[in-house]
Amino acid sequence: MVRAHIEEVSRHVGETVTLRGWLKGRRSSGKLLFLQVRDGTGTIQCTAFRPDIAPGVFEEASRLPQESSLTVVGTVREDPRAPGGFELQVQDLSVEAVADEFPITPKEHGTAFLLDRRHLWLRSSRQHAILRIRASVVRACRSYFDERGYTLLDGPIFTPAACEGTTTLFPVDYFGERVYLTQSGQLYMEAGAMAFGKVYCLGPTFRAEKSKTRRHLTEFWMIEPEVAYMDLDGDMDLAEDFIVSVLQRVLAERRLELELLERDVTSLEKAQKPFPRISYTEAVDLLREAGHEHPWGDDFGGDEETVLASRFDRPVMIHRYPAACKAFYMKNDPADPRLALCVDVLAPEGYGEIIGGGQREDDLATLEQKIAAHELPREPFEWYLDLRRYGSVPHAGFGMGIERMVAWICGIHHVRETIPFPRMLERTTP
């Protein structure tokens, strides 16, 4: 007998197959029993007709609780009325394990209730769709760089120094020594770019974010390319091409999941090159036009990002922020040293910053001054300074938060649903 997966039943029409999965729901009508069975690749309706199967089996199936595991043998039939377009006409059925009463039912549950049961919530069709889209986003991101000659070079998780400011560090006791969970792989990618030319990393990053917003996690995944001999313009070209390419792949690969989420994909389809590029100073003017006075010099928060992004129909790239509100490693604009050669890419529809990056300071003395000006300890950065001592070159890169990208693609409000097991200010379980 053919062992099949629901995702590919269309290839088995008319054949008898074996499916193994879990019971999602059931209803009966006289001699007919309709079982919704999911197997991780999809859900299919299995129709059991009492006279067709052993009497005891029919009775057992009629009482089977949601999430019981089972094996079903039946014939695949095309049926336009069935959800998904196919159904299984059951010939035999065996139960693996009868489930206890499942706490998550089709009725509405509060988010805290669901997050406490995240290990079970993953089985629901919405969460399933979101996390499959996430997997496709990660694959598309990796493929983009793998296919263009980048070397994957992952950075360490335990780090001695702050990359993105000292206020969001998670300290760890490392055999009596104080180290930190990484905030970004960037500094290590810079070392990699000097060794391999073009590199990227993809991994978890950690920020002790005290803010409870829809865009912040304390543990999130970031993909970070870094390229030697690249300037800010090249970096923006790369970020734009990368986003368009990832969107195209995910749209092609995950149509069904996006439909299930009822995502209107027109905003994603509109995200074509070129993305508008405006300077921070122009952005402050745009905010003023929109009736939102913003003091020149202050960084943008979620509210400013939402107003700015709403002025465009595709992601917008905001470059050259005031150096004072950005990280120590950024190169100043030679044309106006108050500015940093950096870029933030803001997604449409209120999703905010999905990419942050820019050109790095490549001059040893300037970098030493910046480390001092940011009141960072010098010693943990000695190795990083070496990169400017031995053949320093212009270089640039960026980081894209996987969860923010997935939230935008899926059109869901909060990033917490875009990662299998979210970590936030008040959540470290399950």
State the residues that interact with ligand 4AD by CB under 6 A.
163-164, 184, 186, 207, 209, 216-217, 220, 222, 224, 353-357, 397-401, 403-404, 415
For residues 35 and 201, which CB has a smaller minimum distance to ligand 4AD in the complex?
A: 201
For 296, which DSSP code?
T
Q: How far apart are CA 329 and CA 360, in angstroms?
A: 6
**CA torsion, points 364, 369, 375, 378, in degrees to nearest 10?**
40
Single out the residue of 34, 38, 67, 66 nearest to residue 50, CA to CA: 34
For residues 127 and 184, which CB has a smaller minimum distance to ligand 4AD in the complex?
A: 184
For residues 42 and 352, which CB has a smaller minimum distance to ligand 4AD in the complex?
A: 352
217 interacts with, out of ligand 4AD, Mg ion, none, CB within 5 to 8 A per kind: ligand 4AD
Q: How far apart are CA 384 and CA 371, in angstroms?
A: 11
From the centroid of its chain, how far is CA 419? 7
397 in contact with Mg ion (CB under 5 A): no
Q: Which whole-number Å values give the CA distances from 164 to 36, 310, 329, in the listed order?
A: 48, 27, 9
For residues 66 and 136, which CB has a smaller minimum distance to ligand 4AD in the complex?
A: 136
CB of 183 to ligand 4AD, least distance (A): 6
399 in contact with Mg ion (CB under 5 A): no
CB of 190 to ligand 4AD, least distance (A): 9
CB of 358 to ligand 4AD, least distance (A): 7
For residues 348 and 356, which CB has a smaller minimum distance to Mg ion in the complex?
A: 356
CB of 361 to Mg ion, least distance (A): 17
CB of 326 to Mg ion, least distance (A): 8
For residues 58 and 398, which CB has a smaller minimum distance to ligand 4AD in the complex?
A: 398
Q: What burial letters (b/e) apply to 77-97, b meaning 16+ CB within 10 Å?
A: eeeeebebebbbebbbbeeee
401 interacts with, out of ligand 4AD, Mg ion, none, CB within 5 to 8 A per kind: ligand 4AD
For residues 121 and 206, which CB has a smaller minimum distance to ligand 4AD in the complex?
A: 206
CB of 205 to ligand 4AD, least distance (A): 7
Report phi then psi at 342, rounded to 5: -125, 170
305 interacts with, out of ligand 4AD, Mg ion, none, CB within 5 to 8 A per kind: none
CB of 228 to Mg ion, least distance (A): 22
Q: How far apart are CA 364 and CA 350, in angstroms?
A: 39
335 contact partners, CB below 8 Å, separation of at least 6: none
Binding segment for Mg ion among 279-287, 319-327, 356-364, 390-398 (CB under 5 A)? 356-364
356 in contact with Mg ion (CB under 5 A): yes
Helix, coil or strand: residue 58: helix
Report phi then psi at 70, rounded to 5: -155, 160
Q: Which residue is nearest to Mg ion (CB)?
A: 356
**Burial (CB count <10 Å: 0-12, 13-18, 19+), residue 200:** buried
**Residues that bind Mg ion in the complex, under the rule CB under 5 A:** 356
